[in-house]
Each structure stands twice: as C-alpha cells, then as structure tokens.
Chain A
Amino acid sequence: MFNIRDELQCYVTCISDSGLLPLIGVVLLAATLMFGLYLKSTDTKNRLISLVLGQLSILAAIALIIHAMNCSQMLSLEIYMAYVILSTSIILLLPRVYYKVLIKRYKARPITEIMDWPQEFVDELDIKATVYYYDSAVPGAFASGKAIFLSIGMLELTDTPELKAILAHEVWHLRHNNKTPILRQLALMSFTGNHSQDELEILADRFAEKTVGKAALESARAKLV
C-alpha cells in the first residue's frame, strides 16, 4: 500500500545517508532560481531559456534522488516521471495526428472528389497538404497538420480568386505550424507565444496578398465579415 508518511521517511533516510544532499540542494536551488527568472523576465528568449533550464534542473534533481534511493518506495517519483513522459509525448504527437481526428469529426472528403483546381493550387504553393471539403452551409476554412478544410458554404460563397486567397492564407498557417513544432509547443507551455492570434492572421493575410493579390484577398475578407 502507498503510504505517504513511510515514503517521505524513506526519502529522508536514503538521501541523508547517501551524502548527495548538498548536491541535490544546489540543483533544486538552481531550479528555483530559473523558475523565478522565468516568472520575472519579459523577454521571450529569456523566458524560454529559463523555463527549459528550470525543467532540466528538476530532471537532474530527480536523477540524483533516484541514484540516492536504496529502497523501493519511489512510487511518487515513478508517477511523476510517467506524467512527464506521457504529457510530453502527447504535446509533441497531438498536432501530428489531430487533423485526422478533424477529418473524422467533420466527415471531410478530399476536395478532388468534387473539383480539381484547389488541390492543384495548394500543390503549386509547395506544401504537402490535402484539401478537404465538409458538409456545411456555414462558410468556414481552417487548417491543421497536413490538411486544409473548406466547407461547401465557403465554396458557394467565394469565386476562384477569393478562394485562392483563402487557401493561401491557410497554407501560411500550415507552414508556420509545421516549421518548428517543438519550439511552438515550448512557447505554448511557457505562455510566451511570439505572436498573438491577431498578428498570426495578419501575417497569413500578408502571404495571401503576396500570392494572389490584394483585390482577391480584400473581396474575400469583405464577404466573410
């Protein structure tokens, strides 16, 4: 049975007997300093670096404690490690599979079943992504992983240049998301997103404008407001 008092007793005895206590103290102090720095700094780069160093110090402390432990009562550590491994893999894997969940949820079908040019247009923009359509009259477009989703409502509402602007906008999002998945996840974890959502939309629009021209982008925007 898991008994917190026995377990704590076990930690105290093992660690004080091992002679590693000062070293563990120093590492934990470093971790505290790093987390303090993370909370205080306003600069994105410093925040990221201090968060990563803080986490690494904690990992080092855990390694030292495991090394110091002679008894088998380390359930709390094992639970924590399982949590770290699980959450990290979820954070890193989820964006790679989430679009498949979206395809199922929206019952999306490849757009090539009903028209060819949107897929050809996206291929020309040099990105590996499939364009899907889904059954809804509400105009909608979004992108995730390796997929761009368009509702039939969006296909109805827009003409070809406008739809190209929307596709280019979504392609930019995909490119931005795919470039640095780990850094992006780190930014999310440390609440240091480089750009706000609005800024991202503006950047995506700028790319769309460059690809298909201002007129198409503006008329698409006007229709969707």
Chain B
Amino acid sequence: MAGTQLRHIAKWRGEIPIESLYTAGIGGQRFFKALKEKGKLVGTRCRRCHQVFVPSRQFCERCFVELTEEVRAQPDGVIKSFSYAYIDHNGGRLKHPVASALVQLEGATTVMLHRLLEVKDLSRVSIGSRVKAVIKPKGKRIGSILDIEGFRLVE
C-alpha cells in the first residue's frame, strides 16, 4: 500500500488564529441570568411534549415551537453516568484526575454534564446515586456554567 511514514523532512509550524465571542442566546440567557442573580436553576417547558429543558432553551427541537413557559429545577439530582478522566486535551497525564457526571435534576427531563466534587474513590459512585449542585456564593457568580462548582454526592 502507498504512503510514507514521516521521518526527517521539512516541516512548517502554523496556526489558524481564531478567537470567538459566544452568546448564551435568547434561550440560554434565562438560565445564566437566574443562576448569576438568584442562584437558581431555571429551564423552559414545552407545552406540547412536556419536555423540561434545563438549562433553558428558546425552542423545542422535536415540536419546533417556541418555549415561553419558565420552570424551576431543584439543585438535587440523580447520576445517569460518570467517569474519571486521567488524560488532558493534549494526551498528557492530568495532575489531578477529573470526575464528571451526567446529572438529571429534579424537575428537569433533560440531563446535564458537570463535575463531580470531592470524589476520591469511584466505588462510592454509581449510576442512580443522588447528588446536589454546589452553587458559588453570589459575589463570585459571573453568569457561567462554572457558577455551579459541581455536584456533591448526597450520603
């Protein structure tokens, strides 16, 4: 088969220099504003299919209708899956492994990704474990998903 493994040859280093400015959008703004200002987790509910999207969204992708009804989710939730990452984005070993989980909040039909806090021993975690969101104090909230520090296991 054709193809040549690279050994010693001319190389050139370059980049695609791009920086982005993202917005949360009409739908996402509700969630991040409520999180920053009130420390609350809000979503939007579809009147047709009854999905409760948390974080809030502008439209339901299934019914293709605008979502206007705001609902509040609880900081308590259940783990749907979890992992413990040892490798960083560049393939290097992480100094501090990162525990992450998929969590369904009470009052939401959707599932969100976030960090699992203070988990040193994975055997304590299982799918179905109950967790609670840890929300930063008001002065430290900036309207980011990181205003939630992560989820802590509820014993």
Chain B binds chain A? no
